[in-house]
């Protein structure tokens, strides 16, 4: 794509898209160009439709198709300034599956199995605070406020700052981590490259190895730990709006999904079958 790729990269930067999102958008745009062996600037709606149909009739998942639609909408509407080419593009429906939620004992077993100490510290921070893995990896030492028992989350999703709690157990562990590792530089969890934080892929690899050491059969991901955090808070009686603020959700609808995955909330619901013939069942008529 040459100069067009550079322009798209700059536009993504100006729009403050997350680095991971920008990388995916550029990859999808390159796929489109490679499919037709032409520059996107010389193509329009017919070529876009042919490309997406090829994905849809192929083995591409709904999520993959949606990412390509988002990329092409950005490319044509923002970078090429030809929004009319993509205005009619429909968003594919992506199945919404309920995530696997770990029990408290499973989280304990998983944390104990993660090695080395640095990687365990990142995962414990992510679960203990509900941070996205990108947010946990990017934490700076100055973001930990032990006097107020809070953590300052900077540049979260949609470039929003927020505060989350600093669990006492996490603080104790981070102090031991600090004593042993002595991380140098700005970041609490520095990566292999000087001046850069640890990468999410590095932590994912450590998590995958740890899962193999446990008897956990559920599908476990770093984002799944965030789901477990929210569900555990809900089951412990935390108000749903507090959970919304901790997770950094702009809409309560995003947080309400955890009422669907909380088994304790489901089990507490009384079926109308159990009310029949009882005083409480009079409301049924």
Q: Give the domain ranges of the chain.
A: 3-85, 104-266
Please tell me the predicted confidence (pLDDT) of residue 261.
61
163 is catalytic: no
Q: Give the angle subtended at the CA of 13 by the CAs of 7 and 18, to the nearest 5°.
A: 130
In the beta sheet, which residues pair with residue 145?
150
**Per-residue pLDDT reduced to its tens digit, 129-180:** 999 999 999 999 999 999 999 999 987 776 688 999 999 999 999 999 999 9
Beta bridge partners of 163: 152
Nearest Cα neighbor of 135 from 225, 240, 255 is: 225
**Catalytic position from the list 209, 223, 264, 280:** 223
* The one catalytic residue among 157, 196, 257, 265: 157
Catalytic annotation present for 226? yes
Bridge-partner residues for 140, per DSSP? 187
How many helices (H) and strands (E) would you count in the chain?
14, 3
Q: What angle do the packed helices 200-212 and 104-113 form, to 10 degrees?
A: 110
Question: Which CATH number is 3-85 given?
Answer: 1.10.150.130
Annotated active-site residue 119? The verdict is: no
Which one from 120, 226, 227, 232 is the annotated catalytic residue? 226
Q: Which of 119, 120, 132, 227 is catalytic?
A: 132
In the residue annotation, 68 being an active-site residue is answered as no
Is 24 in contact with 66 (CB distance < 8 Å)? no
Residues in the chain where the model's pLDDT stays below 50: none
Known catalytic membership, residue 196:
no
Active site residue 157: yes
Name the CA radius of gyration of the chain, rounded.
23
User: Which residue in 152, 249, 257, 265 is the catalytic one?
Assistant: 249
Domain 104-266 CATH superfamily:
Intergrase catalytic core (1.10.443.10)
Q: Cβ contacts of residue 40 below 8 Å, gap of 6+?
A: 1, 4, 29, 32, 33, 75, 76, 80
b (16+ CB within 10 A) / e for 77-113: bbbbebeebbeebeebeeeeeebbbbeeebbebbbeb
pTM: 0.72
Distance CA 117, CA 219 (A): 23
């Amino acid at each position: 794509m040459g100069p067009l790729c550079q322009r798209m990269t700059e536009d993504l930067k100006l729009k403050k898209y997350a680095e991971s999102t920008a990388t995916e958008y550029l990859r999808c745009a390159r796929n489109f160009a490679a499919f037709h062996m032409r520059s996107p600037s010389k193509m329009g709606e017919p070529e876009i439709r042919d490309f997406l149909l090829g994905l849809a009739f192929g083995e591409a998942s709904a999520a993959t198709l949606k990412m390509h639609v988002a990329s092409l909408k950005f490319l044509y509407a923002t970078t090429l300034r030809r929004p009319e080419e993509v205005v009619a593009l429909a968003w594919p429906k992506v199945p919404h599956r309920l995530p696997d939620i770990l029990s408290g004992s499973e989280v304990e077993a998983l944390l104990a199995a993660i090695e080395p100490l640095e990687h365990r510290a990142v995962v414990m921070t992510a679960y203990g605070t509900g941070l996205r893995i990108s947010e946990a990896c990017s934490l700076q030492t100055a973001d930990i406020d032990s006097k107020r028992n809070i953590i300052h989350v900077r540049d979260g999703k949609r470039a929003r700052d927020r505060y989350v709690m600093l669990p006492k157990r996490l603080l104790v562990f981070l102090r031991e981590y600090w004593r042993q590792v002595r991380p140098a530089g700005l970041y609490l969890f520095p990566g292999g490259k000087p001046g850069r934080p640890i990468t999410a892929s590095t932590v994912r690899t450590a998590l995958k190895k740890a899962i193999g050491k446990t008897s956990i059969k559920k599908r476990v991901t770093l984002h799944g730990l965030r789901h477990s955090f929210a569900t555990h808070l809900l089951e412990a009686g935390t108000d749903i709006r507090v959970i919304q603020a901790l997770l950094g959700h702009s809409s309560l609808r995003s947080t309400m999904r955890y009422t669907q995955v909380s088994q304790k909330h489901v089990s507490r619901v009384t079926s109308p079958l159990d009310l029949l013939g009882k005083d409480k069942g009079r409301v049924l008529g």
